Structure formats: C-alpha cells, structure tokens
Amino acid sequence: MNLIEMQIMFHQKAEAINAQFFDRLRPTSFEIVNYFNKAIDRYVRDKFLSLPTHEMRRNSVLAGMDVLRDMVEHQRATVEDTSGTLPFAFSKRIILPPDMLCLLGVYGTYSRSAVPPMTSDVVFSELTPMESARRLATSDADKPIYPRPIAALENEFNLLLIGDAYTTDITNIAVRYLRKHFELSFNYRELEGAADGADLTINSIVADTNYFRALAKGTYYSDPSTQITVQAGQKLVKVTGRNDMEGTSFPNWKQKIGAPYGMTDTPEFPEYMHEEIVDLGVQMFMDEAKLKLTPKAQSA
C-alpha cells in the first residue's frame, strides 16, 4: 500500500468512526503523513525497543526480523584505531551510524597470532556491555585469551571493538543494525530504467551532492573518476557530471533508484502490516481530536 492508498484508507476509517469529528478537524495530507510517521515510530518503539537492556532489545528485534527486515542496514564501519590508548592490547573505535536504533552485529576480517592462530578469517564479534569487556584488559599479570573480538557500546556515538592479547588485526569492519524508518513523504520519487540492464539517467530527480538510494545492483561513481559497484539499498551521493547509473546485465532486472535518501512512499513493513499502521495513525488522530473538541470550562 503506498502513501496515497494509505491516506484514502485513513479518511475512510476516520469518517467511519466519527464523521462529525473528521469533518470539523479534517487533517491535511501533510498532517496525515505526519500521523503515519508517528505511528510507525510508536509501533517500532513499543513493540521492539521498550526493553531495559540492549541485549533484550536486540533479541526482540531479531525475533521480529520478519517485520523489520527492510529496516536492517549493513554497512562498512568508520573506524578509529585506539590500540595503546585504552587498557586493551587491541581495540578499535567504531563510529556508529546516526540513524541506528539497535545494533545487531559487528563483524570483520580477523587475524591473531596464536591460540588459535587466524589469518584474515571473517569473524562475528560478541556484543557485551562495556563493564564485562574489562576482563580483556591486559596487564603485567594477565594476558587474556578470547578467540573472537568483543563489541562493547562505549556511548551513544561509539562502539569499541576489543581484541585479546593475541589479536593482531581486525579490518573490513561492518556493522549490521536496525535503522530508523525512512520518513513517509510525498516528496519521494523513484526512477526506473526503460529496459532490463539499461542505463538510468538520474539527474531528473537527484540534484548534485544530494543523496539517493540504489534499489537495484548497478554501477555508479564515488567521485568523478572512480567507478564503483553499487548494491541494492546502498546510500549514494550524486556526483557532479555523473548523470547515468549503469544497469546490471541480470535478466528481468531494471535499474532503479529512490530519492531523496531517507524518504519513502511505502512503509518499510510487510504489506499485511500497512493497515495496522493506518489504524494506529487513525487512533492517534482520534485521541488528539478528542482533546481538541473538549469544551472549555465556562468561567464563572
């Protein structure tokens, strides 16, 4: 169900509940979209994130993956080497994505010198509270062994990836997380290639230096001279002078993008959930409407 279909359903449901209310407080399209966005935020927060610990929130999100899968991002992390500045033999600070709601996993290419030796093995880190990670601190009396890296949230912006005394390197670090829902908006546009594998001209909806989202695998540029392979879901910035996105050669596969990045015209939930979002939006509208229609107490 796209945004217009949801808006129509909103009108129908609100009028069915109380036509008088709806006529008197008829919301604009902008207001209805706002109710939908608030309904989505409330739904995600109440159903998955209102739990006291990160571990519980993460488990809740993983259990609800069928509903939340479109909001799961997976991206290469921005990393700062902190080895030597913290009491750990090896540590790297990961700058967390600003749109993250819940961290699901961190992994990277891991090497260690011994017990057991590893050379560039892909290893998933273990998420743990920072207080527990202190046991990996090295000292004159301790050379701890922990054969996989530990990820500990340092604060709301950073995550520490900590290795034991035998860790030699962790590279290609990627984070997998639940991000905020893209904002429902009538400003969102999608552009699709004319034929399978055909190039797509993107400058008609994406202005230079603005972000857009690839919705199919293709080829674009990270700067005017560097061509990169783009995966579906990847965030891209429009490079000045680069107006075409090359399509893939897969059969039945048209090149497609959405812009601006961070917006959408369809809730990122499975189709069967959309009506529930509309219901929640209508309920929020009616709750507010009741407050607006309560007569003021007459002054004596």
Partner 1 sequence: MTAEEMQYNFELKMNTVYSITKPWQSYDIDQFLNRSQDDVVEDRYSPADGDMRNYFESNEKIRTELAELITNISITSFNSSDSARHQNGVFADVPDDYLFALQEECSVIYIDCNATAAYDYSRVKPITHDEYMMNKNNAYKSPYRELVWRMDYNSPTGDMKRHELITDGTYTISDYRLRYLRRPARINIVNGVDCELNSSLHEEIVDRAARFAASLLPQPENVEQKSET
Task: Build a one-symbol-per-residue string for 118-157: x at contacts with partner 1 by CB under 8 A, - elsewhere.
Answer: --------x-x---xx-xx--xxxxxxxxxx-x-------
- Shortest Cβ 142–partner 1 spacing (Å): 4
142, 160 Cβ separation under 8 angstroms: no
Looking at residues 100 to 119 of the shown chain, list those that interact with partner 1 (rule: CB under 8 A).
114-116
- Shortest Cβ 128–partner 1 spacing (Å): 6
Residue spans of alpha helices (H) in the chain: 3-17, 19-24, 29-44, 54-63, 65-68, 130-133, 274-293
DSSP 156: S
- Please say which residue, 94 or 162, places its beta carbon nearer to partner 1: 162
192, 200 Cβ separation under 8 angstroms: yes
- Please say which residue, 149 or 267, places its beta carbon nearer to partner 1: 149
- The answer to whether residue 210 forms part of the interface with partner 1 (CB under 8 A) is no
- Please say which residue, 34 or 128, places its beta carbon nearer to partner 1: 128
Residue 150 pairs in a beta bridge with 126, 162
Q: CA 159, CA 177: separation in Å to the nearest integer?
A: 13
- Shortest Cβ 146–partner 1 spacing (Å): 7
Residue 177: how many other CB atoms lie within 10 Å: 22
Report angle CA 286, 289, 293 to the nearest 5 degrees: 140
Looking at residues 172 to 201 of the shown chain, list those that interact with partner 1 (rule: CB under 8 A).
none
- Please say which residue, 17 or 86, places its beta carbon nearer to partner 1: 86
- Please say which residue, 113 or 204, places its beta carbon nearer to partner 1: 113
- Shortest Cβ 154–partner 1 spacing (Å): 16
Sign of CA dihedral 65, 70, 75, 79: negative
What are the tokens at 235?
């965030």
Site residues for partner 1 per CB under 8 A: 114-116, 126, 128, 132-133, 135-136, 139-148, 150, 166
